[in-house]
Structure 1
Amino acid sequence: MKNIKQWITPTAASIGLVLLCLPTSAFAQNTNPPAQPAPANPSNRLHVWWRDGAPGQRPYTVDNKKMPLISVKGNKFVDPDGNTVLFRGLAISDPDKLEMQGHWSKDHFVKVKELGTKLVRIPIHPIVWRERTPAEYLRLLDQAVGWCTELDMYVILDWHTIGNLETEVFQDPMYVTSKQETYNFWRTISRHYAGHNTVAFFELFNEPTTYRDQLGPISWDDWKKIVVNEITLIRAYNPQVIPLVAGFDWAYDLTPLRLSPIAAEGIAYTVHPYANKRPQPWEPKWEEDFGFAAEKYPVIATEFGGFARPPSTNGQSATAESTGRGNRNNPAYGPAIIKYLEGKGISWTVWCFDPEWGPTLIRNWNYELTPSGEFAKAAMNGEIKQPTSNQ
């Protein structure tokens, strides 16, 4: 044990002596950063992110045709002279779909106009807004706005999603979005189309729903907060456009307005009064669910359809066919809903000018009308015979 101690002690002392003789710099921490790699060549990147900016605006100049401004007065839409405007129109399918299938052209909008359309609803699905990128999608929308202006048709831009924006759970993958994306969408759209009178309406959210609680809960107060945020953001860029606000139950139920309307001026409310929402007789239920609101606010039925051929067309009797909404055309529905809406001063756009998205207005890309399309054309031209007791 003694020999071990004698061996350790001198060794430790020797080590200490060596350490004392070392320069203090030997213990200093190296604070110099490691050498940096050579910067990457920006041309090899997918994009140079610091050069990204918001999609640029494409303003109409004095050389461009400009549509009269539509605004809200009381419970009506009015033109610059204060005349009430009742819109009759239709929805096309998503511009991305139309371009992918080779049908995106001015000729397509000419066919829309030939039906008597005054208002075109353009559905924009979140999935393709992302996949195409906002800048590329705006290229399509700019074309649509230009064509509609040339053809004297106004435009609704519709954020076409279905689900619960509070929980951010949605009915199908094509509708998936988020509050952040939704706000940024309207920020982009508002800035881009500020001053473009053709784009008269922004439909903030196509169809809010909990899908019978399968998409989680949302209260009316929750929904109001989201809507007010959207409207505030939109008006910072585009104070003249008319925001369109939907109620719950797939944009059918406006009953919360009785006690708690949206705290904003110059807006309108939307409804999607498909025939299968309520059993007959429809009129008392329509009045209770949404019609009452038209006494105080502008209301527009932005989506409905599934009509039988109008009885007045070539003397033919009404016929039924599948609507794509799980029910068949009821011959009484078309005349009843048009009479009710126009009797209340409610503008409307029917669904859909595409042979694949039902209820369809056309059978094929030769633009052959379905019975529902024949009815819509007659309705847009004021030719619908109202139902009588023997019809």
Structure 2
Amino acid sequence: ELLREAVEWCTDLGMYVIIDWHSIGNLWMELFQDPMYNTTKTETYEFWRTIARNFAGHNTVAFYELFNEPTIYRGELGSLPWSEWKKINEHMISLIRAYDRETIPLVAGLDWAYDLSPLRDDPLNIGGIAYVTHPYAFKRGQPWEPRWEENFAFAAAAVPVVATEFGLHTDMNAPDYNDYGNRIIKFLEERGISWMCWIYDPHWWPQMLKSWDYELTEGGLFLSRAMKGELEFQKQATGK
């Protein structure tokens, strides 16, 4: 009921929604990065059956993000072969499509939803889907652009790719958020990869808000400008 209420608020505001099963870990072996992310394959399948039953035909719900971030956590969570991850996602999609054939499923890459390189040889055997990357600055060292191309952007030439999560870290140990922010958004937009930023919250990292008074952090201000198309390269591209 809380989820339905949130969807209705977004409908009133003319927004679209991604419903996301926000777990992090190895769903195949049912081992997870933190107890808060614990689930099972059965619970996950039942969640998507319930969601699809309840939100089929609801135009505000644009996407179902099937699993937030698959990872083996540097080997501590066992193994997760792409072949098994592929099967699990195909099972989820088949369950969803028994009720809802319109909402687009989003399939996460491996390595905390960053790496889509298995798509070169073994994409899912299902159409009408999109693939997810989370291209945080710390995922790879510099130079970023060739590594982004190799790890996920190559796929956008053949299938829809969406960066459903990345954010700007403004602490002293993080890469310069202005440099990274301009480079990742320019890179994504030049390749037709849609993007969403993380996270509109004052506590979860990397924060876009300073507090629940809704004052934006430096990173939040930057991303607000980017969403409005106000970065310099965006204005040059549109002639504004």
Rounded to whole Å, the distance in 1 between the matches of 2:27 and 2:146 is: 31
Which stretch of the first structure deviates more once superposed, 215-224 or 266-275? 215-224
Rounded to whole Å, the distance in 2 between the matches of 1:171 and 1:218 is: 14
Counterpart of 1:196 in structure 2: which amino acid?
A: H
What secondary structure sits across from 2:146 in the alignment? helix
- Is the 1:148–1:155 contact (alpha carbons within 8 Å) kept by the matching residues of 2? yes
Which stretch of the first structure deviates more once superposed, 143-152 or 183-192? 143-152
Give yes or no for the alignment of 1:281 onto 2:143.
Answer: yes
Rounded to whole Å, the distance in 2 between the matches of 1:368 and 1:345 is: 31
User: Match for residue 106 of structure 2?
Assistant: 244
Rounded to whole Å, the distance in 2 between the matches of 1:351 and 1:238 is: 27
User: Match for residue 215 of structure 2?
Assistant: 368
Give yes or no for the alignment of 1:385 onto 2:232.
Answer: yes
Cα distance per residue 1:133-182 (max 9 Å; x no partner): xxxxxx11111111111111100001000000111000001100000000
Cα distance per residue 1:13-44 (max 9 Å; x no partner): xxxxxxxxxxxxxxxxxxxxxxxxxxxxxxxx
User: Match for residue 60 of structure 2?
Assistant: 198
Give yes or no for the alignment of 1:231 onto 2:231.
Answer: no
- Is the 2:201–2:208 contact (alpha carbons within 8 Å) kept by the matching residues of 1? yes
What secondary structure sits across from 2:197 in the alignment? strand
Give yes or no for the alignment of 1:348 onto 2:210.
Answer: no
Rounded to whole Å, the distance in 2 between the matches of 1:337 and 1:211 is: 24
User: Match for residue 115 of structure 2?
Assistant: 253
Q: Is the radius of gyration larger for structure 1 or structure 2?
A: 1
Give yes or no for the alignment of 1:304 onto 2:151.
Answer: no
Q: Please give the residue correspondences for 1:1-391 in structure 2 after superposition, counting only pairs within 5 Å.
A: 139-306=1-168, 320-321=170-171, 327=174, 329-386=176-233
- Is the 2:177–2:219 contact (alpha carbons within 8 Å) kept by the matching residues of 1? no
Structure 2 gap ranges (5+):
235-240
Measure how far apart 1:194 and its partner are. 0.6
Rounded to whole Å, the distance in 2 between the matches of 1:281 and 1:140 is: 43
Measure how far apart 1:247 and its partner are. 1.1
What secondary structure sits across from 1:331 in the alignment? helix
Rounded to whole Å, the distance in 2 between the matches of 1:373 and 1:212 is: 30
What secondary structure sits across from 1:372 in the alignment? helix
Higher RCO, 1 or 2 (CA under 8 Å, sep at least 6)? Answer: 1
What secondary structure sits across from 1:300 in the alignment? strand
User: Match for residue 29 of structure 1?
Assistant: none
Cα distance per residue 1:72-114 (max 9 Å; x no partner): xxxxxxxxxxxxxxxxxxxxxxxxxxxxxxxxxxxxxxxxxxx
Measure how far apart 1:280 and its partner are. 1.5
Rounded to whole Å, the distance in 2 between the matches of 1:330 and 1:386 is: 16
Measure how far apart 1:284 and its partner are. 0.7
Shift >4 Å, 4+ stretches: none
Over the aligned positions, Cα root-mean-square deviation in angstroms equals 1.3
- Is the 2:137–2:175 contact (alpha carbons within 8 Å) kept by the matching residues of 1? no
Measure how far apart 1:330 and its partner are. 3.4
Rounded to whole Å, the distance in 2 between the matches of 1:232 and 1:242 is: 12
Cα distance per residue 1:32-75 (max 9 Å; x no partner): xxxxxxxxxxxxxxxxxxxxxxxxxxxxxxxxxxxxxxxxxxxx
Rounded to whole Å, the distance in 2 between the matches of 1:217 and 1:286 is: 24
Rounded to whole Å, the distance in 1 between the matches of 2:183 and 2:203 is: 26
What secondary structure sits across from 2:63 in the alignment? strand
Measure how far apart 1:212 and its partner are. 1.3
Counterpart of 2:174 in structure 1: which amino acid?
A: N
What secondary structure sits across from 1:351 in the alignment? coil
Measure how far apart 1:328 and its partner are. 5.1
- Is the 1:272–1:303 contact (alpha carbons within 8 Å) kept by the matching residues of 2? yes
Rounded to whole Å, the distance in 2 between the matches of 1:145 and 1:375 is: 27
- Is the 2:25–2:73 contact (alpha carbons within 8 Å) kept by the matching residues of 1? yes
What secondary structure sits across from 1:332 in the alignment? helix
Identical positions, percent: 59
Counterpart of 1:249 in structure 2: which amino acid?
A: D
Measure how far apart 1:283 and its partner are. 0.7
